[in-house]
Amino acid sequence: MTKEFLHFVIMMGAAKTVCLVGIFLALSLCCSSPIAHGQLTDPQEVAALLAVRSNLNDPYKHLNWTKKYDPCTSNWTGVICFLNNTDGYMHVQELRLLKMNLSGKLAPELGQLPFMKRLDFLWNHISGSIPKEIGNITALELLLLSGNQLSGPLPDELGYLPNLTKFQLDLNMISGPIPRSFANLAKVQHFHMNNNKFSGQIPPEISTLPLLKHFLLDNNNLSGYLPPELSQMPKLTILQLDNNNFSGSVIPDSYGNFSNLLKLSLTNCSLQGKMPDLSGIRGLLYLDLGMNQLTGEITSKRLSENITTIVLSHNKLNGSIPSNFSGFSRLQKLYLDDNLLSGFVPSNIWENINFTSETRLDINFAGNLLSDISGILNIPSNVTLKLNGNPVCANSIQHNISLLCGPYNGTQEALNSLNKPESTCPPQSCPIKNYFEYVPTLPDACFCAAPFGVGIRLRSPSISNFPPYREDFDAWITSNVHAKPNIPLYLYQLSVDSIKWEPGPRLRMFLLFFPEYTNDSNAFDPSEVRAIADTFATFTIPGDDTFGPYDLLNFTAQGPYSDILLPSLSRSSGLSKGALAASIIGSLICASAILVCTLIFFRKLRQRSQAEVVGNQLVPKVPMKMDGVKAFSFENLQLATNNFSVNAQIGQGGYGKVYRGTLADGIDVAIKRAQQGSIQGDKQFYTEIEMLSRVHHRNLVSLVGYCDDEDEQILVYEFMPNGSLHDLLSARYRAPLNFGTRLHIALGAARGILYLHTEADPPIIHRDIKANNILLDAKWTAKVSDFGISRLAPVSDAKGVTTAHVSTNVKGTPGYVDPEYFLTHKLTEKSDVYSLGIVFLELLTGMQPISHGRNIVREVNTACHSGMMFSIIDRSMGPHPSDCVKELMALALRCCLDETKDRPTMLEVVRELENISSMLPEPESTALELNLNTSSSGNSVRSAPSSSLYDRRSTYVSMDLPGGDLVSGVIPPIKPR
Ligand SMILES: *[C@@H]1O[C@H](CO)[C@@H](O)[C@H](O)[C@H]1NC(C)=O
Ligand SMILES: *[C@@H]1O[C@H](CO)[C@@H](O)[C@H](O)[C@H]1NC(C)=O
């Protein structure tokens, strides 16, 4: 018996065992399943649900709840159940009735659903009071009643819910005091009770709650004093009490002692006295004490370095503006208007801010007694500063500040706007059905897909300007929302479609989720839509310090998703009895389990015997058919290259030699022949070909075919008549290249690499970008070559098994290697950005990356810093537009920054190059049929999955072995934060 056969028999045995176990499990499931027994919802709960139903009005007939069918097994709208193995009944675990236009009252019988964990009547029109019986639902974790017309007081009984974590009653008309019994809610983390009519004193006992994080009571009629004890709450991050009337109360000094507070918002609370020293709140991000009667100086020695918002408007604060108000690096809003502040207008508040196009700082000092300006006011364009109504405005001519002294019109517009991502995908390219939208991610790549919409509102964000935080937001949402279990979404699957600031301030947003890009579907599966909806509805997204808690407003499930979230109303007509149907389904599951097992068994058998026939290795010798890639015989290629004559040879590398050849049909090709003795394993060779055959882009050299004869392994590529950029720039072949052509080459190379980073699946990090690997076709179009072609090194162990290695040794071409990769061995797309930056420098200067021991980056930096930039520009470039040259130089140097995070992404590189070429004077840009906006990906209208640090896909990398040969490997996916 051969080893293979033995292996075969063992495998068959294993398959059989698995199947038998599977059948056994399937059968036992059938026999023990409550469905098969016709087990149903606990009758007490059925009665309770019917009572709940009879108290509701359902004008749009969303609820299909009728006595005829069982709630749990016939899918009553919004009723989510589980099976309790102890009593054998199904129990209601969740009532999810979000935004169904329901009115009427909450029935006391809700208290008879003791297993319910989540009670959700968000955004309906329920009126009346909250029944005290809800206090009996011991399992209750989430009580979600926001956005109704509930009134009356809160029953004390709600304070005894031992498992409650989220208490969400905002936007109702609930009155009366906050019951002291709430101090018993040992697990509660969220009190969202804003916008009601609560009155009376905040019970100091609340401060004993060990886990409370968010205490939102703004917009009520609370009075009395602010309990000093609140500062002892170990977990409290948000205290928001705006628009209450604590008439005559002070802000207790202890409020400077909050250990974890991020946001303190006490606008318009009739507070008096001095501002406490808040220096002790180390992480404070947002402070609003505006519209009170605070007096005295602003004493805080030092507010938290990360603070985004300071509002102290409309008080009676005096003294000077503290010098420590400068130096915040994330400040977005500083309002000190309408106080009695005197002294100097500080001129350095923004000195630590690293401005980008989305950063804004809005400063309002209007209506104070400021009389002079310290230093010179040099206001960046991202900053608005208002000084009107200050004595300093009398000197406005001297200080040249008359603009700052005009009437205040603020930057509300800027704060509210969201730069929608550049969408260059024409919407009309999508199919007729109007629910399809394209995902705008990359300029050259769009796809049509049906989005699933989720409306949310950030209830108490710790920022005042969203755009700079957009990437953080996208990362937060995509890494925590799941369409498939435990798999985060790609960044390109989320589009923040609109944002709007509302009073609070709260931030309303509409999120669009797009399905993962695949070739065979442009919509989510129903299970994926449900999974996304569940994540939001169960509030399982972990909180974020910056964005705070969110309200769920709505789901927009149109087009292919319209039936998914609402059970269809006609459903009930088809069923005779839920239980009967269920048991039929149960038997079907059993039967199909057995059938599937049988099929797997036979397929294994067949596959195995085919493999046996083909050869003694399991790898099939005949590779799968690959689009556009031909298999050549060795004789074909001998003929094409005049028997691999020395005259036909055009290059040589560690892997072997490259020949120019002409195929029988007259097409010129480059033929890469592996050296004898370095033949790689079959499987890897095919993997390579298969991968290359899938990578198609006009800026990538394409694979024409391959030869796999006897001891030969040969790859055949399209021929590049203009050779490599290296040859072109090096002295020997020097042909004058004007700036337009150089820019065209730079852009082509960048687009090719961008494709590898973002559209190739799995993405590829080239890792050996250099002038030698950028080839030029007859029209001077740059084509990147040698991506993962990887002479796979023959690392064979004793048994002749070949394995691919991912070397941790940093290999690459000296002068092009990313210094951070060199130090940390961490390879990212930005390593290619660095190498491409070096190529740009070569294009501009004609220098080699390293020559006479001098490094091109240092040389160029030195020249630029001493104002000698134009002295190092390649003379043979001829006349050139200096603006464009400067821009390209700046871009190149940014690509070559030491720190990965400081470099632009390849997408940004491409965008910037496109910008520069749009600045080119006409004759230059048209000279070469630049055709810059041509999409390379042809017919499909879609968006490329945009790759980034948050991308969860594994990334294909080509890497060197210590011996200098390339191997391919897959590096583990980079985890989202
Ligand atoms: C703040 O905390 C410190 C140390 O816990 C304590 O000594 C001090 O008295 C507290 N201040 C106030 C005003 O409660
Ligand atoms: C400010 O933010 C940075 C970056 O998020 C963080 O490392 C630092 O600890 C923060 N500082 C404080 C005082 O929380």
- Given the CA of residue 252, which atom of ligand 1 is nearest to it? 13
What's the whole-number mean pLDDT along residues 179-202?
96
Separate counts of helices (H) and strands (E) for the chain: 19, 48
Ligand 1 centre to CA of 251 (Å) is: 15
Residue of minimum CA distance from atom 3 in ligand 2: 306
Share of the chain above pLDDT 90, in %: 42
What's the whole-number mean pLDDT along residues 215-227?
96
Cα–Cα distance measured from residue 46 to residue 67, given in angstroms and rounded to the nearest whole number:
8
Could you tell me if 821 and 766 are in contact, meaning their C-beta atoms sit under 8 angstroms apart? no
Q: Ligand 2 pocket: which residues have CB below 6 Å?
A: 282-283, 304-306
Residue of minimum CA distance from atom 4 in ligand 2: 306
* H/E run at residue 6: helix 3-32
pLDDT of residue 676: 66
What's the whole-number mean pLDDT along residues 82-93?
91
320-376 tens-digit pLDDT = 999 888 889 999 999 999 999 999 999 889 989 988 888 899 999 999 999 988 877
Residue of minimum CA distance from atom 9 in ligand 2: 283
Q: What is the DSSP letter of 802?
A: B
Residue by residue, DSSP assigns 11-25 as HHHHHHHHHHHHHHH
Overall residue count recorded for the chain in this entry: 977
Ligand 2 centre to CA of 546 (Å) is: 12
Question: Which stretch, 82-86, 398-402, 889-893, has highest mean pLDDT?
Answer: 889-893
User: Looking at per-residue confidence, does 239 or 496 come out higher?
Assistant: 239
User: Looking at per-residue confidence, does 763 or 641 come out higher?
Assistant: 641
Q: Letter for the amino acid at 816?
A: Y
Residue of minimum CA distance from atom 2 in ligand 1: 257
What is the CA 228 to chain-centroid distance, rounded?
Answer: 40
Residue of minimum CA distance from atom 12 in ligand 2: 283
* Ligand number nearest to the C-alpha of 307: 2
Cα–Cα distance measured from residue 964 to residue 791, given in angstroms and rounded to the nearest whole number:
10
Ligand 2 centre to CA of 306 (Å) is: 6
Q: What is the 3-state secondary structure (H, E, C) of 643-702?
A: CCCHHHEEEEECCEEEEEEECCCCCEEEEEEECCCCCCCHHHHHHHHHHHHHCCCCCECC
pLDDT of residue 425: 52
User: Looking at per-residue confidence, does 823 or 392 come out higher?
Assistant: 392
Structure tokens at 470: 């957009």
Q: What is the largest CA-CA distance in the chain?
A: 104
Q: How do strand 487-488 and strand 494-502 relate by DSSP bridges? A: unpaired
Angle at 543 between CA 279 and CA 242, to 5 degrees: 55
Q: Is the pLDDT of residue 108 over 90?
A: yes
pLDDT of residue 688: 66
Q: Is the pLDDT of residue 50 over 90?
A: yes
SS3 385: strand
Cα–Cα distance measured from residue 275 to residue 339, given in angstroms and rounded to the nearest whole number:
13
Residue of minimum CA distance from atom 3 in ligand 1: 257
904-925 tens-digit pLDDT = 999 999 999 999 988 887 644 3
pLDDT mean across residues, the chain: 77
Q: Which residues pair with 515 in a beta bridge?
A: none
Share of the chain above pLDDT 70, in %: 74
Could you tell me if 774 and 753 are in contact, meaning their C-beta atoms sit under 8 angstroms apart? no
What's the whole-number mean pLDDT along residues 181-191?
95
Q: Is the pLDDT of residue 822 over 80?
A: no
The pLDDT confidence band at residue 581, using thresholds 50, 70 and 90, is: very low
Ligand 1 centre to CA of 280 (Å) is: 10
Residue 301 in marked binding region: no
What's the whole-number mean pLDDT along residues 52-66?
92
What's the whole-number mean pLDDT along residues 26-50?
65
Is the distance from the beta carbon of residue 257 to the nearest atom of ligand 1 less than 6 Å? yes
Q: Among 34-48, 209-223, 693-707, 947-961, which is the least confidently predicted range?
A: 947-961
pLDDT of residue 811: 59
Phi, psi of 721 (to 5 degrees): -60, -25
Angle subtended by helix axes 882-895 and 906-919, to nearest 10? 170
- From the candidates 42, 170, 768, 965, which is the catalytic residue? 768
* Ligand number nearest to the C-alpha of 280: 1
Ligand 1 centre to CA of 540 (Å) is: 35
Q: Is the pLDDT of residue 951 over 60?
A: no
Angle at 489 between CA 483 and CA 491, to 5 degrees: 150
Ligand 1 centre to CA of 44 (Å) is: 53
pLDDT of residue 881: 86
Residue of minimum CA distance from atom 14 in ligand 1: 254
Cα–Cα distance measured from residue 951 to residue 66, given in angstroms and rounded to the nearest whole number:
47
Q: How do strand 452-458 and strand 550-556 relate by DSSP bridges? A: antiparallel
Ligand 2 centre to CA of 949 (Å) is: 21
- Quickly tell me which residue has 């150089």 as its tokens: 742
The pLDDT confidence band at residue 826, using thresholds 50, 70 and 90, is: confident
Ligand 1 centre to CA of 690 (Å) is: 68
- Given the CA of residue 283, which atom of ligand 2 is nearest to it? 14
- Given the CA of residue 276, which atom of ligand 1 is nearest to it? 13
SS3 584: helix
Ligand 1 centre to CA of 533 (Å) is: 45
Ligand 1 centre to CA of 254 (Å) is: 6
Cα–Cα distance measured from residue 490 to residue 515, given in angstroms and rounded to the nearest whole number:
9
Residue of minimum CA distance from atom 9 in ligand 1: 254
Mutate to test the pocket of ligand 2, among 279, 287, 303, 305 (most ligand atoms within 8 A of CB): 305
Residue of minimum CA distance from atom 7 in ligand 2: 306
Residue of minimum CA distance from atom 1 in ligand 1: 257
Is the distance from the beta carbon of residue 253 to the nearest atom of ligand 1 less than 6 Å? yes
* H/E run at residue 462: none
Cα–Cα distance measured from residue 938 to residue 57, given in angstroms and rounded to the nearest whole number:
54
The pLDDT confidence band at residue 13, using thresholds 50, 70 and 90, is: very low
SS3 300: coil
What's the whole-number mean pLDDT along residues 623-652?
78
* Ligand number nearest to the C-alpha of 285: 2
Mutate to test the pocket of ligand 1, among 229, 257, 278 (most ligand atoms within 8 A of CB): 257
pLDDT of residue 823: 75
Mutate to test the pocket of ligand 1, among 250, 254, 275, 277 (most ligand atoms within 8 A of CB): 254
Structure tokens at 516: 């993962």
Q: Which residues contact 818 (CB under 8 A, 6 or more apart)?
A: 830, 831, 834, 835, 900
- Given the CA of residue 282, which atom of ligand 2 is nearest to it? 13
Q: Is the pLDDT of residue 747 over 80?
A: yes
Q: Among 679-683, 768-772, 805-809, which is the least confidently predicted range?
A: 805-809
pLDDT of residue 947: 27
The pLDDT confidence band at residue 448, using thresholds 50, 70 and 90, is: confident
- Given the CA of residue 280, which atom of ligand 1 is nearest to it? 1
772-816 tens-digit pLDDT = 889 988 888 899 987 654 433 223 333 333 333 233 355 567 788
Residue 627 is a catalytic residue: no
* Ligand number nearest to the C-alpha of 253: 1
Is the distance from the beta carbon of residue 254 to the nearest atom of ligand 1 less than 6 Å? yes
* H/E run at residue 592: helix 578-614
* Ligand number nearest to the C-alpha of 254: 1
Structure tokens at 417: 């706007």
Q: Among 211-225, 577-591, 606-620, 688-702, which is the least confidently predicted range?
A: 606-620
- Given the CA of residue 228, which atom of ligand 1 is nearest to it? 14
Cα–Cα distance measured from residue 817 to residue 824, given in angstroms and rounded to the nearest whole number:
12
- Given the CA of residue 304, which atom of ligand 2 is nearest to it? 13
* Ligand number nearest to the C-alpha of 260: 2
CB atoms within 10 A of CB 444: 20
